[in-house]
Amino acid sequence: MSERLKPGEYVDVAIKGVRVVEQDEHGCVTVRADAHDGGPAHWPMPPQAAVSRVAPAEWPPRAGDLWRDRHGVVWFAADVHDIEETDVPEIVLVYPHEDFRQAPDVCNQQAGPLTLVHREDEQDGDQA
């Protein structure tokens, strides 16, 4: 943003990709995002804040997960990376009945909201 804001101006603020910490009885949410020092901090949002769900708390999918879309279709999360080229996982969601695969974010946008049906390993605890 090149112009300085002046006190009293009305603005719209969008904060993308943050996790909800809590929602109070008035509907106000607190989100977790980076602080000025780079560490995590909790930031209360005013009642005027528009909050849209982007992905469930269990996001992103991990290999072996089962996810259900809004149509009731179950998707299997698989790691399809080439182990000879990289050791970075490449997770896709596979619809096994038609051997159709899709990137998790695309699947969530087109058929979401997705909900986690099964996760084999829960050792990570806090995921973000």
The pLDDT tens digits for 69-122 are 999 999 999 999 888 888 888 999 999 888 899 999 999 999 999 999 999 876
Q: What are phi and psi of 38, to 5 degrees?
A: 90, -15
In sequence order, the 6+-apart residues with CB closer than 8 A to the CB of 63 are 77, 78, 79, 89, 91
Give domain limits for the chain: 1-52, 53-128
The CA-atom distances, in angstroms, between 52 and each of 24, 56, 90, 115 are 16, 11, 27, 16
In sequence order, the 6+-apart residues with CB closer than 8 A to the CB of 41 are 32, 33, 34, 35
DSSP designation for 36: T
Q: What is the pLDDT of residues 62-72, one digit of tens each?
A: 999 999 999 99
Q: What is the C-alpha separation between 92 and 35, in angstroms, rounded?
A: 32
